[in-house]
Structures are given as structure tokens and as C-alpha cells.
Amino acid sequence: MQELEIPKEILSKYRSLIRYCSDKVNVEEKKELKKAFETAFVAHKNIKRKSGEPYILHPLSVAKIAAKEIGLGALAIKCALLHDVVEDSEIKLKEIENLFGKKVSNIIDGLTKISDLMDSANSIQAENFRKMLLTLSDDVNVILIKLADRLDNMRTLEHLEDRKRKKIASETLYIYAPLAHRLGLYSIKTELEDLSLKYTETEKYFEISRKLNETKNEREKYIKHFLKPIKSKIKKEGFSVSIKGRPKSIFSIRKKMSKQQINFEEVFDKFAIRIITNSSESNEKSDCWKIYSIVTDYYKPNPDRLRDWISTPKTNGYESLHTTVMGPGGHWVEVQIRSERMDQIAEKGLAAHWLYKNNKKDKKEDNLNKWINNIRELLESPEEDAVDFLNEFKLNLYSKEIFVFTPNGELITLPKDSTALDFAFSIHTELGKKCLGTKVNGKLVPISHKLKSGDQIEIISSEKQRPKENWLDFVITSKAKNKIKGSLNEGKKIIAEEGKEVLKRKLKHLKIPFTEKRINELQAYFKLQDSQELFYKIGTGKINNPDLKKYVESRESWYGFFKSKLTRKNNKSEKKESINNSDNVKKILRFGDEKNELEYKIASCCNPIPGDDVFGFITIEDGIKVHSYNCPNSIRLKTNFSYRTIEANWINVDDLEFSAILEIKGIDSTGVVNKITKIISTDMSVEMESINFKSKNGFFEGIVDIMVKNKIHIKKLIDRLKKIEGIKKVHRKLKS
Ligand code: MN
């Protein structure tokens, strides 16, 4: 690399970073850091942040946060310096790998992916979040650097436009602050929360911070008064302590105020202090208890409020002794007593814990790795801890989904309770259809095996495999269901085709002509829905020769009497069934982009028929209601509840008829009603269900209930009717 001209300001910031981590990186690592810094400098050259500063200052700040505030080592600092390089410049991941090795390029890749996920505007936060969490299992450094990145972005958020600020701030509150909390990075968590509040509830933030300032003196005075006798006693006993008024974050005050519906003053009815003793690790526990004893010599403790997190640390590593005592003037004061080491853990989390464990320099990195592994275990373990963890992230809201992987590590989201076969269909329809068996995490399992998050699935397929009827019993995704049904239907169609030919031959044998009428009769006799069903049953042999013979016998005895009745009744009842709101309505609409077959009802306010432009409206109690775009309710529904509407499309339904209402107005003249009914029933062969004409002052108004196939059908009819002399108006009426 040629000699770079790096501005002083930038160079001095870099040097301060190096100074800071000089005790935890060796000479070799320092060289690497320099290389990373120079690579980043070149990559971000001429790029400015929104604040107008050179961009390189951002990765430098992130690296410093990683080193100083999180306590990470050389690898993470290097990656922090490089974290935006691939995203923002021409430099490719491959080059990073060549320059810095696989480990670094993997981490950069993870960071870039998270950014992509977070930035894609139309994806939901929660979805991104989950994926982000899963990236963790690759390398926890990714998440820690991402936190550092976010912290610097939050610190410089004022330079962005308001809308963007709010988005980033709420994302921080929802995703990053809880993550920092879980990882034990308390001061980062607090800062993220406060900064988020500043941009999401600006007024409240400044109000609280103003009041904090205003009451500061008063509070400090009280604490001073409270501490006076204890302090000298502690000194006398030979302890070296520092005492802090416990800072309450603006965010936590805000939370308390809104959660308990109290005002600022009420939040501060309790004072809080922290006594930190500079004790060796071997003495710290007894020292803390000794100090406890001193405090309670002067002030009476509330026995219910004693918490010993020293004997039993919290799962995230927190150690401290808490008590609440009655101070002067009858005020409760919460006292936290802990050692320097415990305080570091409380502020910096487990990173500090591991670093404290062993102070030898070369051991530090090692301990850091242990810590990182520890977090990973925490996140991956199926035990209570992990459940707790998920709850903390409100993931229970999303527990309806699981996340599984393809053999090459691609993440697939499926509904909870999905089976291996659902997975196969989600990858590819053909893979689903030909799915013979599956391997989950390397083990052979049946295709009905229920998957759980984190499973890696391999599908074993066979060209000979075909979808089976019983597959429908265990798949749960609509894609798998539809594809299986579709494919079964296809198979059914072929069988039905064959069955039709078989039936033709058999009827010929029985000397019965193969006519539509006869087919209707057979269909009615065997109580089947349609002729396809009949052919299919013949094709599969479910209806066999003896069955057909029985039909012939019954036909011979009844035919003469019931011929007309049987067929007419059957036709009629089928039609009735197909009308609108009957439960047995055929599914002639498909919904959404995926053309899903869903339960629905036709809205009675507009009664749409095939061909009408329609949409589904998801009602709360009654499932999907299908409305016409012309429906008087449609605009209201579309504008107020657009998120509850779903695209609906008619499928081909030539064999069904639908009820519709015609309104006809015109000049009353002899024979006009006859002309109308002739056109409807004779010329157009449209069935009339009812007809009602009223005449007044030489004009008439008629309402005709008819059965039509679709919109085109009714349009033709209307056009014909309009041609009758004296007819002024013919139109389809929506509401009866
Ligand atoms: Mn960044």
C-alpha cells in the first residue's frame, strides 16, 4: 500500500484508539489494526457522514466502543474498523478475506447482512430481528460490534431527519437495548434507552431531564446527610470505598411514571445509593456484609427488601447486596453494596467478569472467548435460560413461527408445527411432490416429522414418488396443502378421464345410451357432487359392475314414475346449493397473491357474481366476506380497513349459477311483461326465481330474481332487455 496522507484529526483519533487497547493487543495485532484502519480509510475516503464529518470517524468510534465500553479484543476491534467497508465501498468481501483472513470476512459478512436486513424498508422489524439473532450462532462478535455500531449511530442521531431518527430510535428500543441488557452490557443498554427516548418522546425526555437537574441539589443534600455517620464509621473500620448516588436513567423514570401512573416526584420518594468497596476477590463477600452491618447499625432495614445477589448471582452474572433502610425524616433509602469487581460486571456485563477472572495478559483473549462462548450457549440452550431470554425479547409474540435451515445454511421461516414435508414444499413444489424421506440434523426421520427451530433439513427425493392422499393429514402450510391437493386432483382427472371411457363401455353393454341426462341420473343415484366424481369413482373401481346393475334395476322400476322429478329435483337442489351463503358453497374464489383457497361468504349487501370485481374483507367474527367493488360499503372498508382486505379472484365456474336481481323500469303497455319474460326465459334461457311488476300512472317497475352464470351473462341479458320498446331502465340491483 502506498503512503497515505491521513488528516491529523483522523490520525489522532486512531492513535487514541491504539493507546487505549495497547495493553490487550500484541505487536502483530497492532500491525493488523493499522492495516484495517488504512483499508477503511481508503474505502471511506471522500465520504462524509450526515454531520459533515469524514466517514472514517464512525468506524473509529465504533472500534473504540468495542474496545473500551464492551471490552472486546483485537479481532473485534479490527472488524469494527472494517464494518462498513463492504457495504459502502467497492471493496468486496473476497478482498477482505484475502487481506485479513476468513474469520474477519465472516464477521464482516454477518454485519453487512444485518445492515441489509435492517435497511430493507418493507420488511418487518421482528422478522429482521429473528434473523439477526440467528446470525449469532455464527459469531457473537457480529452482534457485539453491531451494538457498538448502533450506539455510535444513536449518539450521532441528531444529524438525521426526524422520520429516520424516530425509526432508528424505536428499533433501538425494541431490539438493541434488550439485547445489550441480556448480554449484561448495562451502561450501553441505559444509554441506548435514554437516547431512544430522546427521539421517540422528545418532550417527556427533556421534561424529566430538566426536573432531574432541578432536584439534583436537594437530593444530593439529603444523601450527604444520610451518609455522614456511616462514612466515618466505614473509614474507621479501614475500608476504602467510593459512594455513588445511584443514577436513575431518564428512560427508567419515564417507564416507572407511565407504568405506575405516577408523577416525577413520586418516582423519587425513594433515594438510592451505591457503596463500592475496593476489596480483594477473597475478601469482597465478607467486606460487603461488614459494610451492610455498619449501615444497619445506623438505619433500620426493611427485612423484606434484603437481596443477596452475592451468594447467588443472577444468571447474567450480576452480583450485589441490596437493602432498603429508613433514613432521616422517614425516607426509604435503597443501599447497594458491592465490590469494585462486581460493579464492573454490573456496568460492563460478563465481559468484565471474564477479564477479571485472570489478569495475565495472554489469558485475557482466552477469557474473552470463553465469555463469547458463554453467551452463545445462553442463546442456544433450550433450557429455561433461553426461554427466559426469548420472553424477554417478546418473542412469544412471534412464537407462531420456527426457523430452520437448508443443508447449505439458508434460513427458512415456517409456521410452528410444520413438518419436514412442509419444508420440502416451501423449498420447491417438485421437491415436495417427490419427497420420499428426510434427514433432520443428520438423522433419518419420516416426512411427517415435526420441525423445531434450528433444525437443518435435507430432503431425500425420488422420481417415482407421487403425492399421497394421507399427506394432507399432517402438512400444515397452505402451500403444501394446495400443491398436494392440486396434484391429487390432477391424478384424479386422469383417472376420471379413464373412468369416463370405462363408463361409456359399461353403459353400452347395459344398453343404456351415454347422454348428459343419464349421467345426471347416475350422479344423483350415487349421491355424488358432479360428473367428475362419478367418472373418478368408476375409474378407481369404487363404483363397480354390481353397483351399476343395481342402478339399472332401480331405474327400471322407478323410471316411469319419477323420471322427471328425479332429474329436475336434483338439478334444482344442486343449483340452490350453489347459491351464495349456503355452507356447501363451492369454492369459486381464490384469495391473495398466492391464490389460496379459503373459507368465505358472499356479502349480502352487494351479492357479487363471477365476473364482478371483488375483494375479500376479513371480518372479526364471520371470516372472509366477499364484496363487490361497486358495493356501497366498499369505499369505507377499503379506506378505513385496507389492511383487512384481501385480493379475491373468481375461478372458472361455468357449471354453476348465481342469483341476481334485475330492476326494470319503463312505460306500461300491453304485453310488455310478456316480452320481458320471453327474452329472459325463452331467448336467453335464464331461469327466473320470482317476478314482481308494479304499475303506476302509466309507468311500471319490475323486480326479477334470476339465476345467471356470471357478469357477462347478465350483461347480455340486460342489453337484450333494453332493446324492448318502452323500456327506460334495466339494471342489476345490489340489495334486495
Ligand atoms: Mn456503521
DSSP state letters, 615-679: EEEE-SSS-EEEEETTSTTHHHHHHH-GGGEEEEEE---TT--EEEEEEEEEE--TTHHHHHHII
Segment among 108-117, 429-438, 446-455 with least mean pLDDT: 108-117
**732 or 304, greater pLDDT:** 732
Gap from CA of 18 to ligand 1 centroid (Å): 20
Query: What average pLDDT does this structure show over 36-52?
Result: 91
* Active site (annotated) includes residue 88: yes
Residue 380 has pLDDT above 80, yes or no: no
Gap from CA of 153 to ligand 1 centroid (Å): 7
SS3 content of the chain, % helix, strand, coil (to 5): 55, 15, 30
The CA radius of gyration of the chain, in Å to the nearest whole number, is 38
Gap from CA of 171 to ligand 1 centroid (Å): 15
Average pLDDT, the chain: 80
Instruction: Indicate the DSSP class of residue 262.
Output: -
Q: CA angle 666-672-673, nearest 5°? A: 100
Residue 22 has pLDDT above 50, yes or no: yes
Interatomic CA distance for residues 97 and 108, integer angstroms? 10
Segment among 4-8, 18-22, 393-397 with least mean pLDDT: 393-397
pLDDT digits (tens, 9 = 90+) for 387-443: 344 334 333 333 466 777 788 766 677 888 899 999 999 999 999 999 988 998 788
Q: CA angle 427-429-433, nearest 5°? A: 115
CB 614 within 8 A of CB 629: yes
Query: What average pLDDT does this structure show over 701-706?
Result: 89
Gap from CA of 206 to ligand 1 centroid (Å): 27
Gap from CA of 121 to ligand 1 centroid (Å): 17
pLDDT at 42: 92
| Helix or strand holding residue 326 (H, E) | strand 321-326
Gap from CA of 356 to ligand 1 centroid (Å): 30
* Active site (annotated) includes residue 334: no
Highest mean pLDDT among 371-380, 639-648, 655-664: 655-664
Query: What average pLDDT does this structure show over 318-336?
Result: 89
CB 48 within 8 A of CB 60: no
Interatomic CA distance for residues 295 and 226, integer angstroms? 10
pLDDT at 387: 34
Instruction: Indicate the DSSP class of residue 314.
Output: -
- Cα–chain-centroid distance for residue 398? 6
Percent of the chain topping pLDDT 90: 24
Q: Kindly report the length of the chain.
A: 736
Beta bridge partners of 301: 325
Residue 528 has pLDDT above 90, yes or no: no
**570 or 336, greater pLDDT:** 336
Residue 384 has pLDDT above 70, yes or no: no
For residue 593, what are the contacts with CB-CB under 8 A and spacing of at least 6? 647
pLDDT at 266: 79
Distances (CA, A) of 80 to 34, 85, 275: 13, 10, 35
**725 or 365, greater pLDDT:** 725
Residue 666 has pLDDT above 80, yes or no: yes
Nearest CA among 630, 721, 730 for reference residue 679 = 721
For residue 467, what are the contacts with CB-CB under 8 A and spacing of at least 6? 432, 433, 483, 484, 487, 488, 491
Gap from CA of 83 to ligand 1 centroid (Å): 6
CB under 8 A, 24+ apart: contacts of 338-343: 338/274, 338/275, 338/276, 338/277, 338/288, 338/310, 339/276, 339/277, 339/278, 339/279, 339/281, 339/284, 339/287, 339/288, 340/276, 340/277, 340/278, 340/279, 341/281, 341/284, 342/284, 342/310, 343/274, 343/276
Gap from CA of 242 to ligand 1 centroid (Å): 36
CB 243 within 8 A of CB 275: yes
Gap from CA of 82 to ligand 1 centroid (Å): 9
Gap from CA of 562 to ligand 1 centroid (Å): 83
Query: What average pLDDT does this structure show over 369-381?
Result: 54
Nearest CA among 377, 375, 376, 378 for reference residue 351 = 375
pLDDT digits (tens, 9 = 90+) for 533-591: 888 888 888 888 888 888 877 766 544 433 333 333 334 333 333 344 444 455 788 88
Instruction: Give me the catalytic one of 29, 38, 53, 88.
Output: 88
pLDDT at 735: 62
Gap from CA of 58 to ligand 1 centroid (Å): 7
CB 576 within 8 A of CB 570: no
Instruction: Give me the catalytic one of 87, 347, 533, 547.
Output: 87
Gap from CA of 112 to ligand 1 centroid (Å): 9
Q: Residue 412: helix, strand or coil by DSSP?
A: strand
Gap from CA of 557 to ligand 1 centroid (Å): 87
Query: What average pLDDT does this structure show over 451-458?
Result: 82
* Phi, psi (deg, nearest 5) at residue 629: -60, -25
Angle between helix 478-509 and 545-578 (nearest 10): 130
pLDDT at 367: 52
Gap from CA of 37 to ligand 1 centroid (Å): 14
